[in-house]
Amino acid sequence: PPPTGKFNISKQALQAVLAMGFSESEAAMALYRTWEDPDAAVALLLSEAEGAGGEDEEEEDLARAIELSLKESSAAGASAGAG
């Protein structure tokens, strides 16, 4: 769970992440989670941003694959039973 209240982070590290265009709260949280490593914080924020859109696509692809698989298996079963 994310920390509540105030926590201290390096202003220099914060400025480095803010320069990449992230909000102060996002930057501060990422720095807290990465032990004040600006590079790791930016990587974390970027991966979370990519993951937010990517998960839905993956779920849709998986659902589509399952649906096609079920259709194929039922069609194969029907043709095997008819033969």
Q: How much is the average pLDDT of 53-61?
A: 66
Q: How far is CA 63 from CA 3, 35, 47, 75, in A?
A: 35, 38, 23, 18
Kindly report the pTM of this predicted structure: 0.57
Query: Which pLDDT does position 26 carry in this prediction?
Result: 93
Neighbours of 36 (CB within 10 A): 17
Mean pLDDT of the chain: 81
* Cα–Cα dist 11/16, whole Å: 9
